[in-house]
Structure 1
């Protein structure tokens, strides 16, 4: 499925990707995140609302995440050249919501085994910029991490994200966000007149510069003057970009034009 027009070329990093992990490391991390998510979900009532996903319960969250895992397992296993429809797959959903946490956990083995068996350089369909098997090991780590955070918020616990995961997750989001325009049209409105949003991680020293131009956005890891700057630990910055943290949270130090930050968050929401 096409992402449409020249927006396929937007969002590119102007320097080499310094944070990307080897494929096998992503596979290891995916397995760990799914296990963590399934364990916490087993202690939460499936009918509990998920505050970070309006209109969802924990049951909805588990069903969505487990379905994505099984969908990706099938696509990577087939090296699908086109997007498969989840509706066409037998997901093996449990009869009762109480079984969803175990069902989520049971999907980890086939997913990780399929990812590990795949050649990371093999071409296949992906909605993002990197249309190879390696896209999916990386995407599944960050997809699962963010939804594990949703589960922890529903459980009333304060979520954390490992700094290295968060740094790569910010890169991964910025690399692929423009390609999401076909299912999140507001992404096309991430344009401007050279305004610059800067992010700086206090715990790792990493930085990101996002510039809004007339044709879209571009980004790199440079440091300099910004229209608005946000400073926080890497994990908090990742959750801010995914709108799992409020920009008014005490974890963030902001300087400059908050309206630009609000505009970015509103139009980049996945």
Structure 2
């Protein structure tokens, strides 16, 4: 269980898999962007066009690459990361090549460093392993943004183990934030209540606990555990879609997702967890 202000995540995936997924999820993002109008607005990130979304992802890859490559022990200014602001050329092909090369460079630096290398992060876990996991899910979630903007949501799917880890990484970060972030302190008004995330398409051979997460609200913050239990409100549906709801990339009353119980608590949770 993740409890209180501590930050001791237990990733489901190993370091090499995260490195592979940074490249693969970027490839899938590039495929979504191919042939689309890059000036189109992104509904789930309304301040951005598709091009700006892509530059955000690729810039983050390059920034973290610089942190890991140099084994930085203090924060690195984003502007100092080579290529952070996007490709030199303005064509879609330039953007595509820039995204691909940035993901490859980041994955290579993370592999060279290994998961335990000490580097600066914005959480107590000061390791390259944190960045491998964070950049994987940064790319997974922004791929959902791009799919929505490109009207390609029917093909957006994430492997079960990756989607489950995406849920858990977000819950780890929210657990940490709930101890310090003023916006999330409002959740303490609902101490004693809970949310259940329940995936209905558990892979064959998986256990019920592997596809369900209970989030408890308490006076000191939030706690979560892998378990299916009674809750104030339940979000149930396909794993990828439950993940998208948690990240506010899918309305909770959309598609095959069901909300059972106190929907008001769910909306309150989603509003207060805009932290990132």
Q: How does 1:20-169 map to 2 (within 5 A)?
A: 20-91=12-83, 93-96=87-90, 98=92, 99-158=94-153, 159-169=156-166
> CA contact under 8 A between 1:71 and 1:89: conserved in structure 2?
yes
Match of 1:190 among 180, 187, 209: 187
Query: CA offsets per residue over residues 114-141 of structure 1, 9 Å max, x none?
Result: 0110121122222235321111111111
In 1: Cα distance, 2:180 partner to 2:72 partner: 19
- Alignment length, in residue pairs? 260
Q: Which residue of 1 aligns with 2:265?
A: 260
> CA contact under 8 A between 1:11 and 1:177: conserved in structure 2?
no
Q: How does 1:224-243 map to 2 (within 5 A)?
A: 224-243=229-248
- Per-residue deviation, 1:94: 2.3
> CA contact under 8 A between 1:38 and 1:102: conserved in structure 2?
no
For normalisation by structure 1, the TM-score amounts to 0.89
* C-alpha RMSD over aligned residues: 2.3
In 2: Cα distance, 1:11 partner to 1:222 partner: 20
In 2: Cα distance, 1:33 partner to 1:190 partner: 33
- Per-residue deviation, 1:233: 1.5
In 2: Cα distance, 1:187 partner to 1:83 partner: 25
For normalisation by structure 2, the TM-score amounts to 0.87
Query: CA offsets per residue over residues 205-257 of structure 1, 9 Å max, x none?
Result: 41111111112111111222211111111111111111000011131122111
Q: Which residue of 2 aligns with 1:5?
A: none
> CA contact under 8 A between 2:7 and 2:125: conserved in structure 1?
no
In 2: Cα distance, 1:187 partner to 1:86 partner: 27
In 1: Cα distance, 2:89 partner to 2:177 partner: 33
The answer for unaligned runs of 5 or more in structure 1 is 1-7
> CA contact under 8 A between 1:178 and 1:187: conserved in structure 2?
no
- Per-residue deviation, 1:185: 4.8
In 1: Cα distance, 2:193 partner to 2:215 partner: 8
